[in-house]
Amino acid sequence: MSSEASPEERGYHHGDLRRSLVAAALQLVEEQGLEAVSVREVARRVGVSPGAPFRHFENRTALLTAVAEEAQDRLLQAVEDSRRQQASNDPLEVFHAIGDGFLRWAFANPAHFLVVSTRSVIDYDSPGLRERNDGLRATMRQWMEQAAAQGRLKPGDIDRYVLGLRGLVYGLARMHIDGQFASWGRPPQHALEDSLAVLDQFMLAIQASPGSPASSPP
Amino acid sequence: MSSEASPEERGYHHGDLRRSLVAAALQLVEEQGLEAVSVREVARRVGVSPGAPFRHFENRTALLTAVAEEAQDRLLQAVEDSRRQQASNDPLEVFHAIGDGFLRWAFANPAHFLVVSTRSVIDYDSPGLRERNDGLRATMRQWMEQAAAQGRLKPGDIDRYVLGLRGLVYGLARMHIDGQFASWGRPPQHALEDSLAVLDQFMLAIQASPGSPASSPP
DNA sequence: ACCTGAACACCGTTCAAGT
DNA sequence: ACCTGAACACCGTTCAAGT
């Protein structure tokens, strides 16, 4: 089966315009950035009339939300891969691998990261996005709890550590796509490297120094 | 002098259309959000023709950049005020006050924070914005250096602590305006409170535990 | 059941012409 | 010197009409 042609020589259009639209939008984001994604341009790329997409998406936001769900899946996949590659079972090292994967993906796919992290353009309340987010959050909390149970953390609220590290990697990634590394002394090419080092240092900072009281001694 | 009328009964328009446009845009952002700011709508509010703003701003981006500079001034003012209110000279407490002021302003002025932190809509390379940013960064580094000099920090790179804390507050503020606190267990009304607590906990985490080796012992 | 194509009310931006 | 107002090429979205 050719991936282009379809039933009936494509009478009107092939079977799955919806999927084609999302794919085209995803590619357009990647090639030209978020601003370049107009419903009309996506329709043009797929070869349908300007009104056709509205048979599948209520509005531009709904289309971009579908794009964001796809991008979010890729992000989660990258995080998952990074976690898997971390051979150790040390909860803090696993947690670190998650942050590491997040940063690397965000820096490697700035346009897609922009889509998943920009309200105003997507519907954050979509159940799809919500679920995906909740999953990652639960995973992070789990490993952090385990670290605490092993007495590895400085005293402090676990949720605050999780939220803080989430905010940290999110903030570094956003600073990058928002072009805010330029004024940060080091050249932007080192932004990923710097961000990884920052994550590292903060993961170290929250750990109990040997011999000091920990969050939850065994 | 009335603040509305002007020279010659306002022949075409008053003396400073440029300033009026920025003021109107700033208010529009506040009232209706960033998406609502179109050049035409701003012109309408000020009572001039659609083309008039282009005599003062090259394009929409230039107008929004001027808005961002104004908003950034307010942010820096808030940070400055917060720092001043911190009576103590303890460098870490001063640094904390800076982060605190940043968070409070961002949460109280989400639309304005969005403008100063959204590339794609403003020109980040504008000298105005760059200078303002550099100033804050230099201040933060200074206080952190002082903390290190007093042996108050855990061993680690100073710039990484500064960048990390910047990324942290930036990330928390962005998570808020991006609507990402909703899925975080606690209700969004507590987002500021939670963020302040997180900052607090991380400021504690980077401090040398008494009796442990510090970054730069006295 | 799904798509077309014209239509409407918006944009950003340009530029002659007015004062 | 500064603004108007018409114009152009775009949008998002709707909806009758086509197949």
* Separation between Cα atoms, residue B3 and residue A208, nearest integer Å: 61
As assigned by CATH, the class of the A68-218 domain is mainly alpha
Tell me how far apart the alpha carbons of residues A46 and A38 are, in angstroms, rounded to a whole number.
13
H/E run at residue A114: helix A110-116
Residue where the block lists tokens 């446009």? B21
Is A176's CB less than 7 Å from nucleic acid strand D? no
Instruction: Summarize pLDDT for A150-191 with one digit per residue, the tens.
Output: 999 999 999 999 999 999 999 999 999 988 888 777 787 899
Minimum CA–CA partner of A123 in chain B? B179
Closest nucleotide over all strands to B15 (CA to C1'): D2
Say what the alpha-carbon torsion angle B187, B182, A121, A183 is, to the nearest 10 degrees. 90
Q: What DSSP state is assigned to residue A209?
A: P
Q: Which residue has the tokens 């709904």?
A: A62
Protein CA at A170 to nucleotide C1' at D14, angstroms: 39
Distance CA A122, CA A110 (A): 16
Partner residue opposite A119 with nearest CB, options B125, B167, B179? B179
Contact A166 B175 (CB under 8 A): yes
- Tell me, what's the pLDDT at A71? 97
Instruction: Compute the distance between CA of residue B192 and CA of residue B172 in angstroms, rounded to an integer.
Output: 9
Residue among A179, A56, A78 at smallest CA distance from A24: A56
Report the candidate in B96, B109, B119 with the shortest Cα–Cα distance to residue B169: B96
Q: Please answer yes or no on whether A125 and B206 come within 8 Å at the CB atom.
A: no
**3-class SS letters over A110-140:** HHHHHHHCCCCCCCCCCHHHHHHHHHHHHHH
Q: Where in chain A is the domain with CATH 1.10.357.10?
A: 68-218
The gap between A168 CA and D14 C1' (Å) is 44
**Which CATH class, in words, describes the domain spanning A1-58?**
mainly alpha
Q: What is the mean pLDDT of residues A198-205?
A: 98
Written as one letter, the residue type at A124 is Y
- Nucleotides on strand D lying under 7 Å from protein C-beta: 2-7, 10-16, 18
Rounded CA-CA distance A185/B159 in Å is 9
- Give strand letter and number of the nucleotide nearest B39 (CA to C1'): C12
From B102, B100, B118, select the one nearest B178 (Cα to Cα). Answer: B118
Nearest nucleotide relative to A52: CA against C1': C3
Are the CB atoms for A14 and A20 separated by under 8 Å? yes
Give the integer Cα–Cα distance in Å for A107 and A26.
17
A213 token code pair: 């009281």
| B12 CB and strand C closer than 7 A | yes
Residue with tokens 């009335």: B2
Contact in structure between A172 and A99 (CB atoms under 8 Å): no
Look over chain A and give the mean of its residue pLDDT values, rounded to a whole number. 89
Q: Contacts of residue A133 in chain B, CB cutoff 8 Å? A: 180, 183
List every span in chain B annotated with CATH 1.10.10: 1-58
Q: Could you say which of A156, A167, A197 has the minimum Cβ distance to residue B172?
A: A167
- Token pair belonging to B124: 């980040």
pLDDT per residue as tens digits for the range A17-57: 999 999 999 999 999 999 999 999 999 999 999 999 999 99
Give the CA distances from residue A183 to residues A101, B120, B138, B148, in Å, rounded to whole numbers and listed in that order. Answer: 25, 17, 10, 23
H or E, element range at B69: helix B60-85
Across A83-109, average pLDDT: 97
B61 touches strand C (CB under 7 A): yes
What is the H or E stretch that residue B81 is in?
helix B60-85
Interface test with B, best of A183, A186, A194 (most B CBs within 10 A): A183
Instruction: Flag if B161 and A201 touch (Cβ within 8 Å).
Output: yes
Q: What is the pLDDT of residue B214?
A: 60
Could you list the mean pLDDT of each consecutive 10-residue stretch along chain B, which spans 218 residues?
A: 35 77 97 96 97 97 97 97 95 98 98 91 84 92 98 97 98 93 80 98 93 54
Q: What is the pLDDT of residue B215?
A: 53
Return phi, psi of residue B34, to 5°. Answer: -60, -40
